[in-house]
Amino acid sequence: MKLAIGLGNPGKKYALNRHNVGYMAIDWLKRNNLPSRVILKKSGVFMNSSGPAVKKLINHFSLDTDNLYIVYDDLDIPLGKFKIQKGIGPKGHKGLNSIYSALNTKDFWHIRIGVDNRTPQDKTPGEDYVLSDFTDEEKLLLNKTFTDLSKELAK
């Protein structure tokens, strides 16, 4: 059994933000019937407080970190791409730092979904950029990303 937990921020205000791509991925996977051996959950809390919520879910399902998949936004990866890596995440991601602290480990699966679609001329700081909404065109690209992700998770 795998437990995939999407990170984001609750509330309509944040629903389409780049920072909420973890929540968006979980919603998409639920709508598209990912195989039953994958439990899909959202953290249900604000990104920077994800650790205790993730720990509670792991304990609830009696799983270890070998079966934990955390789904989140990554500015180091271009929009339309993703990486699944064990123990590897971006530096300075406050949601991950909260999880590392709560679990006392980085040794779980990181599903890093690319959200960066800035042009070289766009100097928007990362902290502001991740709180911006995806465009309609970008949402179409995300659907393809989520389709590819679902194939990987089903393995």
Position 36 scores a pLDDT of 72
Looking at the chain, how many residues does it have? 155
Domain boundaries, the chain: 2-153
Position 28 scores a pLDDT of 95
Alpha carbons within 13 A on the beta-carbon side of 115: 28
Cα gap 10→14, rounded to integer Å: 7
* pLDDT tens readout for residues 19-46: 999 999 999 999 987 767 899 999 999 9
Cα gap 140→138, rounded to integer Å: 5
Alpha carbons within 13 A on the beta-carbon side of 26: 22
110 is catalytic: no
For the entire predicted model, the pTM comes to 0.94
Residue labelled with tokens 């051996």: 37
Q: Of 19, 60, 93, 110, which residue is the catalytic one?
A: 19
103-107 mean pLDDT:
95
CATH superfamily ID and name for 2-153: Peptidyl-tRNA hydrolase (3.40.50.1470)
Q: How far apart are the first and last CA of the chain?
A: 11
User: What is the chain's mean pLDDT, rounded?
Assistant: 93
Cα gap 74→93, rounded to integer Å: 8
pLDDT at residue 118 is higher than 90: yes
* pLDDT tens readout for residues 75-104: 999 999 999 999 987 777 899 999 999 999
Position 104 scores a pLDDT of 95
Helices 21-31 and 136-153: crossing angle in degrees, nearest 10, is 60
Alpha-helical runs (H) found in 19-154: 21-31, 50-61, 94-103, 126-129, 136-153
Position 13 scores a pLDDT of 95
Burial class, 151, CB count within 10 angstroms (exposed 0-12 / middle 13-18 / buried 19+)? exposed
